[in-house]
Each structure stands twice: as structure tokens, then as C-alpha cells.
Amino acid sequence: MIYSASLSYRLVKHIRSNTAKGINKFPFVLMLEPLFKCNLKCKGCGKIKEYKDILDRTLNVSECLDAARQANAPIVSVTGGEPLLHPEIKEIVTSLLDNKYFVYLCSNGLLLEDFLDEIEPNPALSLVVHLDGMEKTHDLMVKKDGVFKKAVAAIKKAKKLNYQVRTNTTIYRDTDPGEILELFRVLKSIGTDGVMVSPAFSYVDVSEEVFLKREQTNEIFKKIYSNLNGITLYNTPIYWEFLAGKRDLECTPWANPTVNPKGWKSPCYLITDAHYPTYREYIKNTDWAKYGRGKDPRCDNCMVHSGYEASSILGKKKFSDLLKLAKWNLTGRG
């Protein structure tokens, strides 16, 4: 099952209770960035450039928990930077789990093997390892040799210890769909629970010509989606259809709000027009009507999961879409 019975129950309850209260903008997944520091300088990453002046700033355990309580999203995705460089990462994860949040702990895998000795597997904890291709490609994208091997070794150890492990793959302009399918097969063979994908986003601060136009995204994802052959997907089939150009979705950036040492990032995980001190101010003061395809040129080629994955679940759905989502949740297949 993609979402366990308890997470499915929490998500349904969360949607129902917000809808009943007339709240139409509510978060599904809090993107918690407790630090920006990283042990890599990946080609497509804008974070370490955007926040280069505050790379030493962090959110402490109580600030992280306070952010989770403000957003009150059932899922907290702990990202960064490299979260495992945070001196209190164990305490942050533990305190989120103790307070009944479902936690996705993201990592580039370099420090993961050692970290596994510090915490216990937990049904509410998923490890999310970033891999952008097979060894040569991935090491090229992260600009460091040996990273792929380290990440794969960490995944194998995590599976041996019974952790839930999924991977996150960013698709760039020159990504070979065949190589991504090979990567997914390798990941399945070593026991990874499933895969997540997102097309790269062209950060203002990144000048590298690696990003996709919408039509290129559609072409690449069409090829991957039609050849998955039993790979478990952690992205919904509706989001995949959107990526493959088979349907359109409206961006819902407020469903994945981002908080970091500067505050609540507005409007979304990718573009920054402001930081607000509280979640409430972020939701209230962001001019949501200004963002999305056709409204802001920075949004025109954006199809990232933090903007659109929740859109595939929220809102009125056709019966056939509900069936698709139910089948996907049970089987991981589209």
C-alpha cells in the first residue's frame, strides 16, 4: 500500500475536516528545511545558491515542531540542504514521530549508513534517497564520484534493517528515459519500496542549461510512464498523466508549504518572493492569484511535484479518477 491504512485515514480525515470548516487552502505535506548546508554541490540545485549567506543557520528541534504544529499537515518532509548534517536531526525526526506526524526524511545518502545506527525503523518514517540516474550520470549531476555507490549501499543496509525506503529522481533536459527505467529496475532489485519523480525546475539562481520546457517534460515522462513494468510509484497516476501531457492540473503550492531558517517561503518551494514569520501570515498574505501557468512567467514550465502532486488528489474528481487513485494506493500501479 502506498499510504498505510493509518496515513490514508489521517489524510481523508484531514481533507474532510478542513473542507467542513470551509478552509480551501490547507497543507498536505510540510516541506521542512531545517538547514541549507549540504555536502554536495549538485548541478541543478538552487538552494545552496539562493541561501548562500545563511548556510550556517538552522532551525532547532522546538522550531521544527512548532512549524509542524502551525501547518498541521499530516506529513512532514524533512529536506534541506542535507538534513543529516543537522546536529539535532535525530531529535527532530524523533520529536515529529512522537507527535504523530508521518515523516519523509530526505537524504543524498552520503551519511545515511551511519545514521541508520542512531534511529529505529518506524512505520511512520520513510527514508527518501535522491538518485538522478545510474552511477556515471548521478555522480556527474552531483559533481562527486562515489555518491551513487554510497547511496545504494545505504539503501541496501536500510532495507536489511526493515526501513521503508523510496527514492526521488529529478528528470533533466538530457535525461535518458531508458536509463531512468534501468535505474528503477536496479532499485527494485535491491528492495526499494518505490520511486518518486519530478521534472527539474529552472531556479533563477541556476544558470546551467539542464532544465526542461513543458513539451520536453511531456515527451520524457510519456516514455517512462508507458514502460514502468511493475515499478511501484509513489506519485499518483493522475500526476503522472499530467507529466506525460495527458491532462492538465492547477498548481496548488499551498498544499506543500515550505519553512526554513528564514521563515515561511512564499509562494512555493521553488520561487521566493517573500518569507513570512508564521504559517498564518504566509497563507493570508501571499497573493495566490498571481501564481501558476499563464500568470507568472516563472511558472510556465513548472510541473514539479510540490506544486502539482496534491492537485491530483484535491478537488472534485470523476468516479474513474477516484478508482484510479484507490487502485494506485493499493497496488502502487497506475
44 is an interface residue for ligand SF4 by CB under 6 A: no
Q: How far is the CB of 306 from ligand SF4 (least distance, A)?
A: 6
27 is an interface residue for ligand SF4 by CB under 6 A: no
Q: How far apart are the first and last CA of the chain?
A: 13
Any idea which residue has 531558517 for its cell? 261
Lookup: cell for 211: 532544465
Q: How far is the CB of 193 from ligand SF4 (least distance, A)?
A: 26
29 is an interface residue for ligand SF4 by CB under 6 A: no
268 is an interface residue for ligand SF4 by CB under 6 A: yes
Q: Is 313 exposed, middle or buried (0-12, 13-18, 19+ CB in 10 A)?
A: middle
With beta carbons less than 8 A apart as the criterion, state whether 200 and 170 touch: yes
Antiparallel, parallel or unpaired: β 272-276 and 263-267: antiparallel
Q: How far is the CB of 195 from ligand SF4 (least distance, A)?
A: 21
- Of 83, 194, 267, 332, the one binding ligand SF4 by CB under 6 A: 267
Stretch of 77-85, 182-190, 228-236, 303-311 contacting ligand SF4, by CB under 6 A: 303-311
Q: How far is the CB of 292 from ligand SF4 (least distance, A)?
A: 5
Q: How far is CA 143 from the centre of its chain?
A: 21
DSSP secondary structure string, 263-317?
EEEEE-SS-EEEEESSHHHHHHHS-GGG-STTT-GGGTT---HHHHTGGGTSS--
Phi and psi torsions of 324, nearest 5° = -60, -45
Q: How far is the CB of 180 from ligand SF4 (least distance, A)?
A: 22
Stretch of 66-74, 238-246, 268-276, 315-323 contacting ligand SF4, by CB under 6 A: 268-276
Amino acid present at 168: N
Helix axes 89-98, 61-71, angle to 10 degrees: 40
For ligand SF4, the closer CB: 224 or 251: 251
For ligand SF4, the closer CB: 24 or 227: 24
Of 11, 13, 68, nearest in space to 259 by CA: 68
45 is an interface residue for ligand SF4 by CB under 6 A: no
183 is an interface residue for ligand SF4 by CB under 6 A: no
- Of 47, 291, 309, 311, the one binding ligand SF4 by CB under 6 A: 291
Give the residue nearest to ligand SF4 (CB): 307
Of 104, 34, 100, nearest in space to 62 by CA: 34
Rg (CA), the chain: 18
243 is an interface residue for ligand SF4 by CB under 6 A: no
Residues at the site binding ligand SF4, with contacts judged by CB under 6 A: 251, 253, 267-268, 270-271, 291-292, 298-299, 302, 304, 306-307
